[in-house]
A and B are shown apart, each in its own frame.
Chain A
Amino acid sequence: MSLLRLCTFPKCLSGRILLEISVRRVPYVDHCLTIRNNIERHISEPPWTSQRRHFSALIPKKEDGKKRVWEQSQLLDVLKARIQQLQSDVIVDVQHEKVQFVKASKSGIGASSGNSPKNVFGERTEVPKAGQTISKGGGQTGKGEGKDASASKSRWMEKLSQEKKTKTKKLKQKLGLEDKPVKSSKGKLMLPGTSHKTISTKAGIKTASTVKKSKTLKNQEHTMAASKHEHTMAAAPVAAANVPIRKAKGKGKASKEPAPELSEARNRAEEMERKAEAKAQELAEVEELERKLNQWAVSARPELVQDNSEARVYGDVQRSVRCYLEACVFCGDIDRAHRFLLGHHRMVSRRNLLNIGLYNIMMRVWAKKGSLNQIGRMFILIEEAGLKPNLGSYCAALECMGRNPDCSPHVINRVLRQMEEDGLPVDELFSHCVFRQDERDMVLRAIHTVQPDFQSSINTILQTCSSPLVKDFYTERDLLAVQRLVWHKALVGALREGKIILASSTQKAVRLSLYPYLCLLDEKDYVDIMIQSLSNLPPSGESLHILAKELGNRVHNMFCIRMKGHNQMVDKLSHIYNEYAELLAKDSKEFDVLPRERWWKLEAEHSSGPSLLGDETHWPHMVVVELGTYLVDLMVKHMKVNSDILNSAYDRKLIPVLYHMYTFRSNKQVGFIKPHPILTQMQQDAMDTTLTFDSYVMPMLCPPVPWTSAKFGAYLLTPTKMMRAVEGANQHEILLEKCQDADLHAVLDSLNQLGNAAWRINQPLLDIIISIFNDKGSEKLDVPPPNSEAPKIPRYNQQDSATFTSAEKAHLKREVVNAKKKCSEMHSLRMDALYKLSIANHMRDEVFWFPHNMDFRGRTYPCPPYFNHLGSDVTRAVLVFAEGKPLGPGGLEWLKIHLVNLTGLKKRSSLAGRLEYANSIMDDILDSADNPLIGKKWWQNADEPWQTLACCMEIANAVRSPDPTHFISHFPVHQDGSCNGLQHYAALGRDVIGATSVNLIPCEVPQDVYSGVAQQVEEFRVRDAEKGLKIAQVLEGFISRKVVKQTVMTVVYGVTRYGGRLQIEKRLKEIDDFPKEYVWDASHYLVHQVFSSLKEMFTGTREIQDWLTESARLISKSGSTVEWVTPLGLPIIQPYHRSRTQMLKATIQYLSLQITHDSKERPDTVKQKNAFPPNFIHSLDSTHMMLTALYCYSAGLTFVSVHDCFWTHAITVDTMNKVCREQFVALHSQPILQELSNFLLKKYCSGLQSEVKSKKFLEYRRMLLLLAKVPQTGNFDLQRVKESTYFFS
């Protein structure tokens, strides 16, 4: 924390943010090694710079002893809470379902009218609170739980009751057996049923009485009748829940009795007769399970059942409409928006697509205008559409009244009353609504006119804004610059024209047009985006789809930021951020407050003004691509250049710079945009490719905003998703939104900790790398050479070709292809390195941060894509911790061991052995450090040469310092899990042999699972060879660790026999002596042996893997997507569905988009099942990492991770190792598989029982039994991990 204090910029932040919005230029590596680009420093050189320079000297650090009790117990608490929640769902969590009342129709102006009770769900963002809402809504609590559970199931109980109507009558008579239970269950249900009734009746009466001139008794009766109907229905689900048991019992009996006449029943009875005997046991099991399920069902959160349906409600159409409206409104085209909404509203088929949120958008607009009349009208429309106004609607109404100074208190009172009736507490306005500009004040003003001393009690999460800082690396020559001006002018003109055409072609009001999306930014901004995109275009071209997506996304990003500026959010943000930074910097008593909590507190203190939480909607993928395509079309049509610009010998013609053409990939036609060679030439000549980066590509120069909810965190202005997802996939977001906030805290906090690690550039090393980069690169050292080093593309002309035979021609052609391929590969590698090094160079004097987010399995990643610590050897070597710590007594030794680890030598030696080795080669180490490029170059032969070199330098500096134990080291030391996936499997299955081979059990020297497998395979081979198997004999002497390594490593992640064979084939081909004709057979044989060896060694692993796979298969076949929750409470869903094509008819070409994540499509069973085991294991390893991160935070360590590789300072390695082991044990001490099984059962097996259609029922039962059958575990004693030195090493 002390570090943060020194590095935050209390005073200059707002300046920074502004800068971030504007474009920044970053010097190009080639030219600017010496010239520093100080634009921003001039502006923002703060008083603290001098401080920062020396910050490494002061490092007050919390020692282990200082740990607070609560910090330690905190996580355990989280875990425990989670378990409880899973085992029996808590009443508080019960979500209230819409209890539908038929609204008595209103009178008077919309705002104040409408007795329509509200639907408790509000909008999708709302977190439902159970009992609370009920009491507020109905004014009476009643017997909450049972009723709620039943209400929630109203949908399928409806089905059930219908079924009953048609079928049950007969059944009742004939199956006396079944009759009684039905009755009894009904009887039981009467109680909650009645209580419910009273509530609704009261509500009905109340509504009636409050409305003065309200409608007629008829309506009331209607209401009451409806509510009655409602709960007879509501009663049913509980009955239904009881059915299965009854059925099972009933059947058991039926089998002994003569079959009734009813053929269905007879069949069933016969079937049961057979099964009852054969599978009496199974039945008992099923019964037992179902009883359990029923218990769950009673207390279950209704949301479990309705998950899927809700996901659908938030569909694509609504998103499109919403974005469209927002875009129209933003660019001030209210007329268009209004017409559009009305257009939809008037067509019944389209009206159904609208939701309350869409009306609210317009409502907000009218509120801004202070037009009470329009607001009233909107309420009428909402009424017509059969929707209920929600908080947002009332908020707009109040805002409008606040803007009208002469609005009578009477009217305002009516609104407030109305809200109360609808169960919407006024407080929630302030906690749940998103305010822009002065909206909050207006609402408050309205309320204050009637309740002068009203105070909103707020403790809410606010949202962030985002901003792309666009940065430019510029070193440009005139030619290109002039040309850019020309293009700029042409494009602005073209865009303007295009907009006029689009605007005037007013088609039907309901058709989405691109027009509003082209009005969001200034024309010149669009054009800037287009021209910038040119410099990132590879010479070989880019597919239209990708290009369009990029352009579209950049427009969206910029729009989001503009929107935030527009909503006056930036000021508030910078204000809060400054205070946050200041607080972070004080390592005062507040140290025990997590960054997230700190931010919360600050937001609560500054509750006035606009909300920080942006409510921007992500544009549908279609819109993004369509917009992008439109821009590409403009570029292709209007960017021209004179053909003689480079070579005056050519005739002067105006030629296009970009071309639209097609390439053909396995008979698919792919639209492609290619730059003209002249453009490529110009860019190369200018040596100045304008590297344009969006802000999120750069590391942050200030600590990231902490994640305080799944929607807010990371960058200041750029919108960032906490969970990365495929374009357009929103199931993860929906799932996260549904989570209780508290459930996510552990995840949020660990992301925050990873993001709060400050970094610096290792300058001497960067200089060496850049010098090599500028001097032709080096493939051996992984510094990509420039294209001038690429192989020449062989040419052959027609004269020559006459003399070639056709075989030679074919060969020649192949060579041309290979050369071209190599060239384009080299180009992209070179560019990638250029980006990374340029960014590093730009950051060379800065302290910076990498904000983190995660993928859908919870694995964490730094957000900036090019330059980060996850990168290659080169980028990792350039990074060191900004914070320095003394080496302490053991630090130097850790540095040395780390060095040996980096070389890849001595993998099988003990730590002492490695240390000894390091000491024996001190000469080489010092030589490498002193003369990296002209000395013995020992470091160049290491596995990770650059990190090795960096480590050599660190060691040299340390040993030469007066006292190495006081040497301040910034160097990160890594500890790697040995085959981490298998470690988790072995721990899950408690495999003794497996656990030993992946170092879960303490050993003298590190165990190597690959050698172990190779040994086992060799045993099998010898046995087979003796039996006379030819291929086993051929393989004699060829089985090594190397041959099997890749396959063993990937088997955890789901590699198949097919893929495994290819891997082994590759290895065998690399062995020169191995007879080529046997490669296929040998690889085929070996992959089998590797799999069976693994099976032998990891008995449990295979079983678990199979169980996971089979579970996923059955779940997917039943039509659901596989979901689970990690032990830290992170919900996970696999977004694999059958693909669907969507056609985008753009002018330039038709684009067909493949969508594989549409939750409306059936799940893709193959992917669901193959991906489940690896995804599950990844979700566990990410949990382990997060736990380690959290506990390292409380121990005061600097901690970052690269998945299963953990980094910290040399002095704290021991502590980190201890934490890492403890957390592994803690994690696996949980009944992980049992909990998974419970979760899956609850999720996929409750609620299905009623469909006793033979085939489905059997499938369902199969799934039920399988999910319940958690694999057995072995005898491995988990606690031993704590003493295992080589677990992570």
Chain B
Amino acid sequence: EVGKMKGECFRPLGRYDFLDLGEVEENTQRAQLCRTIKRFIIDPALAKLVTHHLGPDLEESKAVIFECNPGPGVLTRTLLNSGAQRVVTLEGEKSFLPDLQALECLLDGQLEVVHCDFFKLDPMGRGSMRPPAMYTDKLFTDLGISEANWTDEVPVKVVGILPQRIERSQLWKLLYVLFDRLSIYRYGRVELNMFISEKEYLKLMAKPGDMLNYRAFGALWQMACHIELLHKEPWASFVTSSKYKLAIPKSRLPNDNLCLVRMTPRKDLFSASLTPSNAATLVMMVKQCLAKRKARLVDRLNMWSPDSGPKLLKEMGMQEDVLTGHVYPEEYKQLFELVDKSQEFTQSWLYEEVLENTQKEGWI
């Protein structure tokens, strides 16, 4: 309130003016009015903690912060309060926009508000594009962010909560665009700081040998990104827009928390032999191998190109009878690089198939 008054009367707020976060009660009520079912960060302490993890040097960092679906804007204000240089809020819900836009007016360019749902960027269908759906290039061009080299510093940090219902398909979609360097990853190594459910996090981080949970999904993410668990927060700390409690998905795995996970794409992901143009083949290869974790790797390879399995394994220094579920993500990457170099695989039929399948079935 103070901020607003000032803004109207005097001048844009400077970066050192403190923004009032508003009453918890009131923010909770507003969040609950949201028409789609979402979770929100309302608790100031939680907002502070997230901000802290995005730091420590928010004031120095040049990376733009994308905040997904801020709702009443508690985290937004906290970020600004701790001196973030440039925050872009991507709000999909129209009802929250006026308030955020008012805040935007008050500030001197530290905050930009866009009517856009981060999780609806670059949809697959050819339906009419109306906000909050959007193409990435429009978003980035409007914001004046240009394409960057892969090895450059992180240009954008995204912070948000993955919508529960599409959690997994979103993660797959991000994975595909990452390997293809499409969508947001055209603009460099975008860093994700996402709250995801604990079970999904555990799957993401499953290690070889865990035959139940170690799957292509985790292996590929681990291969592509440096993954860090920043914080665990009980589900109850978040405010849900639904009148009823949003049921917490059941799982064999523990699932008591939402986990704030940082996924930073690896600088050395792409190399001479692994490029965005053949990465889809790698993705396919890993998916095929890990569809059955107790199969022997050599059989899979032989299927691709008869007799080449033992040779490749020897080159890799692996046991002949190694199971696909025992191979580390980095090893899969190396294996692919060998395969890609090998002459024998050029005539492999699977090589052709791969391109087709990932594209057709890959997204969502």
Residues on A with beta carbons closer than 8 Å to the beta carbon of B349: 674, 676-677
Q: A643-B306, A655-B306, A656-B303 are in contact. Are A664 and B275 (CB under 8 A)?
A: no
A254 vs B292: C-alpha distance when bound (angstroms): 68
Q: Say whether A1076 faces chain B, with CB atoms less than 8 Å apart.
A: yes
Let me know if A650 and B278 touch, CB within 8 A: no
Q: Say whether B115 faces chain A, with CB atoms less than 8 Å apart.
A: no
Residues on B with beta carbons closer than 8 Å to the beta carbon of A809: 276-277
Q: Say whether B251 faces chain A, with CB atoms less than 8 Å apart.
A: no
A929 vs B287: C-alpha distance when bound (angstroms): 58
Q: How large is the interface on A (under 10, 10 to 19, 20 to 34, 35 or more residues)?
A: 35 or more
One of B355, B362, B364 near A816 (C-beta < 8 A): B355
Give A663 Cβ to nearest chain B Cβ, in Å: 6
A115 vs B207: C-alpha distance when bound (angstroms): 68
Report the nearest A residue to B181, measured CB to CB: A806
Let me know if B137 and A820 touch, CB within 8 A: no
Q: Mark A801-814, 1 if CB is under 8 A from B, else 0.
A: 10000110110011
Q: Say whether B142 faces chain A, with CB atoms less than 8 Å apart.
A: no
Residues on A with beta carbons closer than 8 Å to the beta carbon of B359: 813-814, 816-817
A665 vs B287: C-alpha distance when bound (angstroms): 12
Give A358 Cβ to nearest chain B Cβ, in Å: 37
Let me know if A664 and B361 touch, CB within 8 A: yes
Residues on A with beta carbons closer than 8 Å to the beta carbon of B278: 798
Residues on B with beta carbons closer than 8 Å to the beta carbon of A655: 306
Let me know if A674 and B128 touch, CB within 8 A: no
Q: Say whether A85 faces chain B, with CB atoms less than 8 Å apart.
A: no
Q: Say whether A653 faces chain B, with CB atoms less than 8 Å apart.
A: yes
A665 vs B181: C-alpha distance when bound (angstroms): 22
Q: Say whether B291 faces chain A, with CB atoms less than 8 Å apart.
A: yes
Let me know if B357 and A663 touch, CB within 8 A: yes
Residues on B with beta carbons closer than 8 Å to the beta carbon of A667: 168-169, 172
Let me know if A661 and B288 touch, CB within 8 A: yes
Within 8 A of B (CB), among A764-803: 796, 798, 801
Q: Mark B119-154, 1 if CB is under 8 A from A, else 0.
A: 000000001101000000100000000010000000
Q: How large is the interface on B (under 10, 10 to 19, 20 to 34, 35 or more residues)?
A: 35 or more
Let me know if B306 and A654 touch, CB within 8 A: yes
Residues on B with beta carbons closer than 8 Å to the beta carbon of A810: 180, 182
Let me know if B182 and A806 touch, CB within 8 A: yes
A659 vs B351: C-alpha distance when bound (angstroms): 13
Residues on A with beta carbons closer than 8 Å to the beta carbon of B250: none
Let me know if B303 and A666 touch, CB within 8 A: no
Report the nearest B residue to A821, measured CB to CB: B360
Residues on A with beta carbons closer than 8 Å to the beta carbon of B291: 662, 669
Let me know if B306 and A664 touch, CB within 8 A: no
Let me know if A661 and B350 touch, CB within 8 A: yes
Give B284 Cβ to nearest chain A Cβ, in Å: 9
Q: Say whether A522 faces chain B, with CB atoms less than 8 Å apart.
A: no
Q: Say whether A1077 faces chain B, with CB atoms less than 8 Å apart.
A: yes
Report the nearest A residue to B182, measured CB to CB: A810
Q: Say whether B353 faces chain A, with CB atoms less than 8 Å apart.
A: yes
A674 vs B349: C-alpha distance when bound (angstroms): 10
Q: Say whether B228 faces chain A, with CB atoms less than 8 Å apart.
A: no
Let me know if B186 and A806 touch, CB within 8 A: yes
A664 vs B357: C-alpha distance when bound (angstroms): 8
Residues on A with beta carbons closer than 8 Å to the beta carbon of B17: none
Q: Mark B162-180, 1 if CB is under 8 A from A, else 0.
A: 0000001100100000001
Q: Say whether B271 faces chain A, with CB atoms less than 8 Å apart.
A: no
Q: Say whether A519 faces chain B, with CB atoms less than 8 Å apart.
A: no
| B interface SS class | helix
Residues on A with beta carbons closer than 8 Å to the beta carbon of B331: none
Give A316 Cβ to nearest chain B Cβ, in Å: 28
One of B168, B276, B306, B355 near A806 (C-beta < 8 A): B276
Residues on B with beta carbons closer than 8 Å to the beta carbon of A1077: 128
A32 vs B303: C-alpha distance when bound (angstroms): 39
**A-B contact number at CB 8 A:** 70
A643 vs B306: C-alpha distance when bound (angstroms): 9
Within 8 A of B (CB), among A624-657: 643, 650, 653-656
Q: Say whether B321 faces chain A, with CB atoms less than 8 Å apart.
A: no
A314 vs B213: C-alpha distance when bound (angstroms): 40
Report the nearest A residue to B307, measured CB to CB: A653
Give B313 Cβ to nearest chain A Cβ, in Å: 18
Let me know if A665 and B306 touch, CB within 8 A: no
Let me know if B287 and A817 touch, CB within 8 A: no
A667 vs B127: C-alpha distance when bound (angstroms): 22
Residues on B with beta carbons closer than 8 Å to the beta carbon of A659: 303, 350
A475 vs B125: C-alpha distance when bound (angstroms): 45
Within 8 A of A (CB), among B312-364: 347, 349-350, 353, 355-357, 359-362, 364
Residues on A with beta carbons closer than 8 Å to the beta carbon of B355: 813, 816
Q: Say whether A1149 faces chain B, with CB atoms less than 8 Å apart.
A: yes
Give B209 Cβ to nearest chain A Cβ, in Å: 21
Q: Say whether A1080 faces chain B, with CB atoms less than 8 Å apart.
A: yes
Let me know if A1076 and B361 touch, CB within 8 A: no
Give B124 Cβ to nearest chain A Cβ, in Å: 11
Report the nearest B residue to A675, measured CB to CB: B349
A1281 vs B173: C-alpha distance when bound (angstroms): 58
Let me know if B353 and A817 touch, CB within 8 A: no
Residues on A with beta carbons closer than 8 Å to the beta carbon of B288: 661-662
A810 vs B169: C-alpha distance when bound (angstroms): 20
Q: A643-B306, A661-B350, A817-B359 are in contact. Are A1076 and B168 (CB under 8 A)?
A: no
Report the nearest B residue to A665, measured CB to CB: B361
Residues on B with beta carbons closer than 8 Å to the beta carbon of A1149: 292
Residues on A with beta carbons closer than 8 Å to the beta carbon of B127: 1080
Report the nearest B residue to A813, measured CB to CB: B359
A664 vs B362: C-alpha distance when bound (angstroms): 7
A677 vs B352: C-alpha distance when bound (angstroms): 10
Let me know if A1076 and B128 touch, CB within 8 A: yes
Q: Mark A668-688, 1 if CB is under 8 A from B, else 0.
A: 010000101100000000000
Residues on A with beta carbons closer than 8 Å to the beta carbon of B277: 796, 798, 801, 809
Q: Say whether A1079 faces chain B, with CB atoms less than 8 Å apart.
A: yes
A1077 vs B275: C-alpha distance when bound (angstroms): 38
Let me know if A664 and B287 touch, CB within 8 A: yes
A521 vs B105: C-alpha distance when bound (angstroms): 82
Within 8 A of A (CB), among B12-64: none
Report the nearest A residue to B217, measured CB to CB: A667
A813 vs B281: C-alpha distance when bound (angstroms): 13
Let me know if B137 and A650 touch, CB within 8 A: no
Q: Mark A595-612, 1 if CB is under 8 A from B, else 0.
A: 000000000000000000
Report the nearest A residue to B137, measured CB to CB: A807
Q: A667-B168, A801-B277, A1080-B130 are in contact. Are A662 and B137 (CB under 8 A)?
A: no
Q: Mark A526-543, 1 if CB is under 8 A from B, else 0.
A: 000000000000000000
Residues on B with beta carbons closer than 8 Å to the beta carbon of A676: 349
A816 vs B360: C-alpha distance when bound (angstroms): 10
Residues on A with beta carbons closer than 8 Å to the beta carbon of B356: 816-817, 820
A806 vs B307: C-alpha distance when bound (angstroms): 36
Within 8 A of B (CB), among A803-852: 806-807, 809-810, 813-814, 816-817, 820-821
Residues on B with beta carbons closer than 8 Å to the beta carbon of A817: 356, 359-360
Report the nearest B residue to A1069, measured CB to CB: B128
Give A792 Cβ to nearest chain B Cβ, in Å: 14
A-B contact pairs, 8 of them (CB 8 A): A656-B306, A661-B353, A666-B364, A806-B276, A807-B137, A809-B276, A820-B356, A1149-B292
> Nearest 5 CB-CB pairs, A to B?
A662-B291, A801-B277, A653-B306, A655-B306, A817-B359
Interface residues of A (CB under 8 A from B): 643, 650, 653-656, 659, 661-667, 669, 674, 676-677, 796, 798, 801, 806-807, 809-810, 813-814, 816-817, 820-821, 1076-1077, 1079-1080, 1149
Interface residues of B (CB under 8 A from A): 127-128, 130, 137, 147, 168-169, 172, 180-182, 186, 275-278, 287-288, 291-292, 303, 306-307, 347, 349-350, 353, 355-357, 359-362, 364
Q: A801-B275, A806-B181 are in contact. List 18 more A-B contacts (CB 8 A).
A: A653-B306, A656-B303, A659-B303, A659-B350, A661-B303, A661-B350, A664-B287, A664-B357, A665-B361, A669-B291, A674-B349, A801-B277, A806-B147, A809-B276, A810-B180, A1076-B128, A1079-B128, A1080-B130
